[in-house]
Each structure stands twice: as C-alpha cells, then as structure tokens.
Structure 1
Amino acid sequence: MTRPAPLWAGRTLALLGIVLVAANLRTAATSLSPVVGAVAADIPLDEVGLGILGMLPPVMFALAGLVAPRISHRLGLERFLILAIVAMTAGFVGRALAAEYSLLFAGTLVALAAAGVGNILLPPIVKRYFPDRVGLMTSLYATCVSLGTVLPPAFAFPIADLAGWRASLGVWAILALVSLPPWISVLIRSRKRSRAAALDPAPELEEPAPGMIGRVWHSKVAWAIAIVFSLTSFQAYSMFAWLPKLLVDQAGVGEFEAGLLLAFWGAIGMVASIVAPILSARLSNVGWILHIGGVGFVLGYLGLLVAPGVSPWLWIALCGVGQGIFPACLALINLRTRTHEGSIALSGFSQAVGYTLAALGPLLVGLLHDATGGWALSLILLAATSALFVYFGFVLRHPRFVEDETASREVA
C-alpha cells in the first residue's frame, strides 16, 4: 500500500483552487436575503418575485447536475470550471448593478448556475488531483462550502449599512475572481502531459468510460447515493427556511435566541463537514455515518415535537449531528466510483436528483404548517424522511462501484 503524497506535492495550485471555489458555492444563494429589504427600496419586489428568487438555488443546482457532466466531457474539467468562475463573477456584478427585477433575476440566475457547475465539478477534480486523499480533501472543501454558507448572511447587512446593498451583493464577485488565477495556472501546467501523469498515479483512470453519463441511471449504488443526497438536502433547505419560526412558535424562544439556534445548527454542521468525509474514507462500513445521522435527526425532531420547551438546544444539537450525512455523500461520489468519468457522472446524477427533491422540502413543510396551523405534521414529515437514512446506511455499507454495476451496458 503506497503512502499518500503530501498535499502540496506538485499540486499546491489545485489545492488552493479547490478551497477558493468551494468558498464561492453558496455565496450567491445566501447573500441576497439579508438585504432584500434594502433592495426592495430601489427595485419593486413582490411576494411572487421573492419566491422565485428563493427557489432558484436548488433549481439551478439540479439543472447543473443534468448539463454539467456532458459539457465537462467535451471541454475538460479545468476549462469548464474556469468558464464557471468567469460566469459567477459576471453574475455577481450584474445583479449588483441591476436597475430592475429582470436584471436582478438574470444576475442571480447566472451566478447560481455557475455555482451549480462548481458543485458538480469539485468531486471529480478532487479525484483527479488528490486520489490518495479523497476523505481529507472532501472534508476541506465541504468545510469551505459551510463557511460560504455562514459568512454572507453575517456580513451582508453590515456591508449594506456601510456602503449600500449594491456593494453588499457585489463584494462576492471579488472572492469569485480570486479563485480564477490558480485554475488558469493549473490549466497551463496540465498541458504538459508528463507533469499530469506524475500528479495522477493511476493514468489508466483518465481513459473515459463510453456512455457513463447515461449508464449511471441504471446503477443501484448511484440511486442510493442520489436518494440520500435528496433526503439530506431536503432537511437542510427545510431547516434554513423554517427553523427560526418553528422554534419561536413551537419552543417559545425569542427571535434572537431562534437566530442563535440556527447559527448553532450551522456550526455543528461545520464540525460535521470536517469529520464525516475523513471517516467515510477510513471506515469499512460507511453506513454507520448514515445510521448515526439519521437517528440524530429523528431524535431532534421528536424532541421538538413532544417536549420543545425542555431543551431546544439539545434537540437542535441532535439535528446538527445529522448534517454529517451531506459531506459523507460528497465523499461517496468518489469512494463509490473507479474513474474520473464515473465521478463526474455520479456527481451530476446525484445532485440533479438531490436538489430537485430538496426544492420540495420548504414547500411541503410550509404547506403542512399552513394547513394545520401548527408544526406537528411538519416535524413528523421531517422525522419520517430522516428515518430513511437508517435503511440506506445498510444499502451503502459495503464498497460497491458504479462502473462495476453498469459494465454490462457498455456494449449496448
């Protein structure tokens, strides 16, 4: 068994590029809502317009999952990622300069589409440049994604208060632009085939598996990972949308404490992002992560249902444990594929399916609340969908590879 090479061994630029891109993957989704009141003072925004903007993140992430694998197969991972970074920067600038809703919508759509492409490309890029450290690198970039989720809401309003909402939205273009030079340098260096072969100890994995993008739909492993991705995203989007209001109504906490509890939930998720991918790469039975995460979610939701006022911090902590499933899913994209093309295909497939179903989470939770006037059925729905993690923990407990399941379809 070969020893893993140091992270910086001939791939420092790729390491820096992965970290910077990961930090940009949620800024477009989380930087607008904190300043929407200020935006509405200059650009008319009704409830429908706000609702459309709120649905864009999972919709664009899902569409990227369908389109990005095929485009990356033609352009190459690095070239396509560079184009996505340029588009993201343009999207941020465009919506910061928007004078009407259509331009605000267009800029947001472009930025989110580019972020969706980044979602799809990062797992196979990790597999290409860090095949010996999949768990560690997935942990690193998942943590950066979490930071990109938490920081924009924290800084959006102070920046808007100081320099206006346009500066608050436009400042994230700088972070996107900073992630561009490392990948331009990597692309230039990758043209030297001898250097590229030295970076990848298994050059045979560079050979494409014909039709892998289509065959992945016939893999049981791919479907299991896609459903787990759907369920964990379902929980996350529902919590982001409704947790503060649920805590105020159900647990009787104040709005300030509800905000702190949401931040606490996010902080536990950040810790989970560090730990779960590393464990996924090291455990012989990765199903334990799904079992523990699923039980955490279920106990947390049931606590909020039957004894919400006893210890809301405990119930939110238990729900936070469940967040380890999402970064574990990101790691499984590489741990359950043998080739780069398999990783691209599985990344696109699982995220296309996952984000499509995730978009239903906030809607269903909100509809159940409106229909009943309470949160009981919403919490039962969240607990029931979380219980499925335990089942899929058994399905994914042993290493089976997507390419092996779909090999029989190669000839067809």
Structure 2
Amino acid sequence: MSPRPARPDRDRGALAFPLLALVGVVLVSLNLRTAVTSISPLLGEIDAEIGLGATGMGLLGMVPTAMFALWGVLTPVLLRRAGLETVTVGAMVAAAGGQVVRALADDPWAMGVGSLVALAGMGIGNVVAPPLVKKYFPRHVSAVSTLYITGLQVGTVVPALLAVPVADAAGWRMSIGWWAALALVAVVPWAIEIARHGSPVVGGPAAGAGTRIRPWRSPVGLALALFFGTNSLCTYAFFTWMPAVAESIGMSRAEGGIALAVFSAIGLIAALVVPWIAGRVDDPYVVVVVSVACYLAGFAGLLWAPGAAPWIWIVLVGVGPSTFPLCLTLINLRTRTAAGSAALSGFSQGVGYTVASLGPIVFGALFSRVGLGAGLAFLLGVLAVMTVVSRVACRPRMLEDTLR
C-alpha cells in the first residue's frame, strides 16, 4: 500500500485540536446503545398504550442485531462515497431522528419505523468509531479505544438504569425520547471538523488508499470477523437469557434482574483493562484464554454446583465477554490505515452481528425445551470455534499485508 500523501494543513489541525476529536469519539460511543437499552424496561408500559403485542415486542428485540449486521455491511459502501466525518454526522442525526419518532409514536408501525432509523444510525456508528480512532489518534489507539469502549458500555448501562425513574417522573415518551438530545450533541464536534477541514472519502486519494480493501480476502479479516461473531453470540445469548438462567438455578426473579446487571456491569471493567493490555503486548491471546477459562468455570458451577456459590458463577460468566473490547481494539491494531480500519470494522461487525443474532434463538430453544445443560453445550461449541479463530486474529499481522 502506498503511503498516505501529506496533508500539512489537516495534520496541523488534527494535532492542534486533538480534544475536539476526542470529545467527538466519546460522544459517538455514548450513543451506540441508547435506543436498545432505554426501551427494554418500558416495553410493557408501551404495549399497554399503543398495542405492540407479543409479536411486536419480539420484533423490537430482534431489530438491534439485525440492523447492526445490515449496516456493518453497508457502511463501508457509504464511506466510499462520503467522508468519515460526514457519515458520522449522518449516523448521529439518524439516531436522534429515530428516537424522536419512537417517542411520538401512536401505533406499532411508527414505533417500528423509528426503531429502524435509530438503530441504523447506531449501526453506522458502530462501524465508524474504530476508524475515527485510527485516523485521529494513530499513536494512541489503545488509550483512546479504552475511552470509546468505556463510553459504549456506559451508554449501555445508564439508559437501562434511568428508563423507569424517568418514565415514572415524565412518562415513557420522554424516557425514550430525551436520548435524542445526546445524539444531536454528538453531531457538533464532527460538524466543526467538517467546517474546518472537509471530510475526505475513506479509501480515496485523500485517505491514502488507491484500491478498495476486501477484508474477506485476508486471514486476518476472516479470523477477526469470526472472532467477533462467536464472541457476540455468547454475549447476546446471556443478555437475553441471564435472568431465566438465574431463576433456573434457584434465584428469585429480582435476583435474576440483578444477575443481568452484574453481567453487564463487568463489561465496564473489561473496557478499562483489555484495550490497555492489547496495546502493550504483540499477541493479546492471553485475554482469550482467561475469558474462555472464566466461561468454562462459570458453566461448570451453574451445572454442577448451582446452589454453592451462584454469584461467583454469574461473575465468572460475566468476565467471559472480555473478548468484546479486544475485538474492537484489534480492528485498529491489525490495520495500517483508516481505510483499512473502516473496511475491517464494517466486515467484522456485519458478519459478527449476523452470527450473534443466532445466540438468543438457539440457546433459548435448547434451554427452554431441553434444559440448561443443552444450552451451555451449544455455547461450549461456539467457544471452541472462538478459541481457534481468535488465535489467528491475535497474531501480530496486518490486514493490508495479508490480502490475497
């Protein structure tokens, strides 16, 4: 790959105002899950007013992974036609507009359209965040990835915690709609950046890439996509079924809800630690080994000693998805350019979220019809695949150097 042409004016601006880009990246990360977790605790109340029905609520539950997968595939196409910053602004505007439509919805169709638009924006945001980090902070990928992944986790947990209190105080429409303001705030730093320097097309001459990058033609790209998919499949299976799993081992319904909160909160710790580790070792496979070991210990406890120390098993299973921040960090650590990061981000997340959508369905069917052991056996098979493909993804090789 030819080196990136010099852009002295842009380079000076990027160095002179790193804080603007940093704030922009963090604000984008805070908006990547608000439409997902702000609505889940309120589905019963929303159903009572606008009549979603069981089918409608089920479809709303499927939309996030479906839209994240779809826009994982489509976003690189957008980036070849518009600049990275322009696409980011469009993503945040869509996220804001969709959430406003949902807040004003009087029927299930409007709620569905609003959800599709909001989650399209967030799906695009998933893909553009890593290349934004790569482009503006190429020498500080691990540190800025820590901030962005932590922001993503905060944006996952906080809307769920505030949903019911805000709904009690101001109604469910305000509770799901006010997050649109945060998305509009995230537009500001990137609009300023566009006004100052424009928004070169990713993969075009201004980005330093002469040809289209096809990640599926690299073992690094294929391995990271499968790594992302197997990791996300296990994570989303537990996001959906953790309360039921907790109840199946003798915990109360309230404790099941707490178990899900604990499972989710551990991701905040992983977001702070894992990118730091990944940036300081050539081969961060140790993170995978520790994560899989925790999954195995947690599964064993849930199956064979559920009443002995249930909270320990929940915590161990919660450590398992520490591979998620590793996947996101590797998108930048295994690419040389912002164009490579964008291509790999779209491909790995497109494949990853498609695979992840199978997790709640397959695990749920096995768990509800056969038992917890069957569901965990399925996840063990997935973890075996993850252990193999992650070995390839973690090796210190670059996507651009391995394209065939």
TM-score w.r.t. structure 1 length?
A: 0.91
Shift, 1:381, TM fit: 1.4
2:341 to 337, 340, 343: 343
Kept in 2, the 8 Å contact 1:31–1:156? The answer is yes
Equivalent residue number for residue 327 of structure 2:
329
Q: Tell me, in whole angstroms, the C-alpha distance in 2 between the residues paired with 1:128 and 1:248.
A: 46
Indicate the residue corresponding to 1:134 in structure 2. Answer: 141
1:79 paired residue number: 86
- Per-residue CA deviations over 1:279-313 (Å, capped at 9, x if unaligned) read 11111221111111111112212221111111111
State the partner residue of 1:383: 380
Within 5 Å, give how 1:186-335 maps onto structure 2. 186-191=193-198, 206-212=207-213, 215-249=214-248, 251-335=249-333
2:353 corresponds in structure 1 to: 355
- Once the two structures are TM-superposed, the CA of residue 9 in structure 1 deviates from its matched residue by 5.2
Structure 2 residue 41 is the aligned partner of structure 1 residue 34: yes
Distance 2:206 2:146 in 1: 23
| Residue 23 (structure 1) aligned with residue 23 (structure 2) | no
Assess if the C-alpha contact under 8 Å between 1:205 and 1:338 holds in 2. no
Q: Spell out, residue by residue over 1:327-377, the C-alpha distance to the aligned partner (whole angstroms, 9 max, x if none).
A: 1100110111111111111000000000001001000011112322x2110
Q: CA-atom RMSD, angstroms?
A: 1.9
Question: Which residue pairs with 2:21 in the alignment?
Answer: 14
2:154 — aligned with what?
Answer: 147
> For 2:176, which of 169, 172, 191 is the aligned residue?
169
Q: Deviations over 1:88-147 (max 9, x none)?
A: 111010010011111000001100000000000000010000001111111111111111
Partner of 2:113: 106
Q: Give 3-state SS (helix, strand or coil) of 1:74's partner.
A: coil
SS of corresponding position for 2:402: helix
Deviating more after overlay: 270-279 vs 260-269: 260-269
Partners of 1:238 and 1:357 in 2: how far apart?
11
- Corresponding position of 2:67: 60
Match of 1:91 among 78, 94, 98: 98
> Which residue of the partner structure matches residue 167 of structure 2?
160
How far apart are the structure 1 equivalents of 2:365 and 2:317? 22
Give per-residue Cα distances to partners, 1:187-218, cap 9 Å, x unaligned.
Answer: 1222499xxxxxxxxxx993124121xx2111
Q: Cα gap change, 1:28/1:299 in structure 2, threshold over 3 Å: closer, same or farther? A: same
Structure 1: gaps (5+ residues)? 194-203
**Distance apart, 1:174 and its partner CA:** 1.2
Distance 2:172 2:19 in 1: 36
Structure 1 residues 113 and 390 mapped into 2: Cα distance closer, same or farther (>3 Å)?
A: same
CA deviation digits over 1:199-239, x for unaligned, max 9? xxxxx993124121xx2111111111111101111111111
- After TM superposition, the structure 1 stretch with the greater mean CA deviation from structure 2, 128-137 or 252-261, is 252-261
Q: How far 1:149 moved relative to its partner?
A: 0.8
| Aligned partner letter, 1:228 | F
Ranges of 4+ aligned residues in structure 1 off by more than 4 Å: none
How high is the sequence identity, in percent, across the aligned residues? 43
Deviations 1:29-66 (A, max 9, x none): 11111111111122112211111111000000001111
- CA-CA distance at 1:398 after TM superposition: 2.2
Q: Which runs of 5+ in 2 are unaligned?
A: 1-11
The residue identity in structure 1 corresponding to 2:395 is H
Q: Is 2:82–2:199's contact at 8 Å kept on the other side of the alignment?
A: no
Asked whether the equivalents of residues 84 and 199 of structure 2 are also in contact (C-alpha less than 8 Å), the reply is no
TM-score normalised by the chain length of structure 2: 0.92
**CA distance in structure 2 between the partners assigned to 1:66 and 1:396 by the alignment:** 20
Are the counterparts in 2 of residues 35 and 165 from structure 1 also a CA contact under 8 Å? yes
Secondary structure of the residue that 2:80 maps to in structure 1? helix
1:61–1:351 CA contact under 8 A, matched in 2: yes
Separation of aligned partners in 2, 1:144 and 1:398: 27
Amino acid at match of 1:317: V
